[in-house]
Amino acid sequence: MKKIIFLFGLLFFSIHQEMNSQSYFIRRICFDDLLLNPVLDPGRIPVGCEMIDCCPGCPGPIDWKRFEVELIWDNEIFSSAQFKVNVNESILARLKSQGFEMNQQVLNIKKGKSNVTGFDAEPDQVPTISPIINIDKEQLKKMKEKLMAEDKSGDVSITFSIIQKIDGKIISIKDFNYWIYLCGFNPPGLVDRVRLLNNDGGDVSLIMLDSRLSTGCRDDEERNAASQSNLPANHLLRNGCNEEIIVFSRDDRMSIRQNPGWSNLIGDLRTVDLLPMYVVRLNVWIMQGPFATTRTRATNDINRANQLYNTQRCGVQFVTTFHDATNDPQTNGLLDADCGSRTQFINNIGFVANTLNIYYLDDPNARGWECSNPPGNIILISSFADNESLAHEIGHAFSLGHTNNINVDGITGNDFPATNLMITGGTGRNSITEGQCFRCNLNPTSSLNAYGIRTGATRTCTDTDLTGPCLPQELNR
């Protein structure tokens, strides 16, 4: 089955809220009908949203002049696209000034990517756009002939998605699904689907779903896919059930799409746009000399941390600045100090706000320490630390606790293997669970959130929280 995607996005300025979605349009069309009238016209779409929907409780109106419409369409089946815009004369003049081809209130869009900025809200007129997608009949005929030759039960899926963002953060996605099938045959059986966009690593990602099925609320449904997962059951209107899609993928940050808005109709498609990994800045203060030798060891530790947090799908990467403190006059008195000297490290050696500050010492009475909580936490690494000690202490900075004696399933024995990164005193630690990555990303006490590296919604999940808004910490797929 061939898949074709058309995507255009709406971005606007406001204040963050949880992302929501609904399926605007699900329609089946046979090839011959579309060849007779090769146009897809889903109707008028409001630009933006009402204040009560996109910014409940916000003071003042949305700054519409910072509103941006991003239009992206580029596929062999599409010959041209137009957008009817229902706006006032000042906006029409602004669109023309941006170089767009206008025919009264019809905006002609070229293939590729176009940006339209500056919308003014009016009390009696909500800005709307009406996409009109013209289909290339020759390409459509070729698709039909190919399906007839290969598989008469085949079909083509065309998906339109409207993505709305606040300051670059997705808060709403509205999907339009068209299925094109061979006339004279029964339309193909539809299924609900989750599609991943921009999977940089191309790996088989872990998809976790909370939703409502015919059997009731379902938490932590697991699926695996590199690009698209066809779901075995129809996902329904939430009716009080928790509803979200979480994706763990290498080379991408953990993505969470809250309230995706499944309908009771089968055939819903929900997309999740995978974004680049979060960049966590490290300032490493080399106190134990010689500088070059310790720096090499620290570099190996950081490389190991990058490997673990990426391959275990936590979605973070580390960028480092090294500082030579081997000749600092305050260094000798702190080479064997522990967290009790935290203030002296900050004031006498150095400290960079909103980064993880790491001090390589001699003997602070442990392989490593993570001192205090964000935003003032620091990390101490001893001369006898192993290659995973730094990654372990970073885990504490990301809100993770020790996993040596955690038992939440009632079965005798620890829920975590001896190779888990957060086992204290362990060796050969080479695993981080997706449940731990979930906490690294969402706990408000994680440095990712405390330092503003991640700016999405947070939730507090303890080590032993199992259900509801929290994935089990021992979840490992």
Share of the chain above pLDDT 90, in %: 42
21 pLDDT higher than 70: no
CATH architecture of 192-276: Sandwich (2.60)
28-42 pLDDT per residue, tens: 788 888 888 888 777
222 pLDDT higher than 70: yes
Listed by start position, the domains of the chain span 1-189, 192-276, 278-477
- Give the burial string for 434-470 (b: 16+ CB within 10 Å, else e): bbbbbbbbbbebbbbbbbebbebbbeebebebbeeeb
The arithmetic mean of pLDDT across residues 37-63, rounded, is 58
- Cα gap 18→54, rounded to integer Å: 9
363 pLDDT higher than 50: yes
Answer with the residue of higher pLDDT: 132 or 169.
132
Answer with the residue of higher pLDDT: 394 or 153.
394
Question: CATH topology for 278-477?
Answer: Collagenase (Catalytic Domain) (3.40.390)
Peptide bond into 290 cis (omega under 30): yes
For residue 279, count CB atoms less than 10 angstroms from its CB and return exposed for 0-12, middle for 13-18, buried for 19 or more. Answer: exposed
* pLDDT at res. 11: 27
* pLDDT at res. 52: 42
58-88 pLDDT per residue, tens: 444 555 454 555 555 556 777 776 666 666 6
Spatial CA neighbour of 306 closest among 296, 297, 291, 316:
316
Q: How confident is the model at residue 23 (pLDDT cuts 50, 70, 90)?
A: very low
Query: Range with the lowest mean pLDDT among 33-37, 298-302, 367-371?
Result: 33-37
Highest mean pLDDT among 16-20, 64-68, 152-156: 152-156
421 pLDDT higher than 60: yes
The arithmetic mean of pLDDT across residues 81-101, rounded, is 65
Query: Range with the lowest mean pLDDT among 33-47, 192-206, 321-335?
Result: 33-47
* pLDDT at res. 8: 33
Contact assessment for residue 81 and residue 24, using Cβ atoms and an 8 Å cutoff: no
Long-range contacts of 371-378 (CB under 8 A, 24+ apart): 371/339, 371/342, 372/339, 372/342, 373/445, 373/450, 374/445, 374/446, 374/447, 374/450, 374/451, 375/447, 375/450, 375/451, 376/346, 377/447, 378/342, 378/345, 378/346, 378/351
* pLDDT at res. 3: 34
- Average pLDDT value over all residues in the chain: 79
Contact assessment for residue 140 and residue 78, using Cβ atoms and an 8 Å cutoff: no
- Cα gap 218→210, rounded to integer Å: 6
Q: How confident is the model at residue 140 (pLDDT cuts 50, 70, 90)?
A: confident
Q: What is the value of pTM for the model shown?
A: 0.68
Sign of CA dihedral 281, 287, 289, 291: positive
261-299 pLDDT per residue, tens: 888 877 778 889 899 999 999 999 999 999 999 999 999
C-alpha pair distances (Å), 448 with each of 72, 244, 415: 31, 21, 26
166 pLDDT higher than 60: no
132 pLDDT higher than 70: yes
* pLDDT at res. 202: 85
Answer with the residue of higher pLDDT: 461 or 467.
461
4 pLDDT higher than 60: no
Share of the chain above pLDDT 70, in %: 68
- Cα gap 204→37, rounded to integer Å: 39
Q: How confident is the model at residue 402 (pLDDT cuts 50, 70, 90)?
A: very high
C-alpha pair distances (Å), 6 with each of 97, 133, 275: 27, 10, 19
Contact assessment for residue 85 and residue 107, using Cβ atoms and an 8 Å cutoff: yes
Amino acid at 337: A
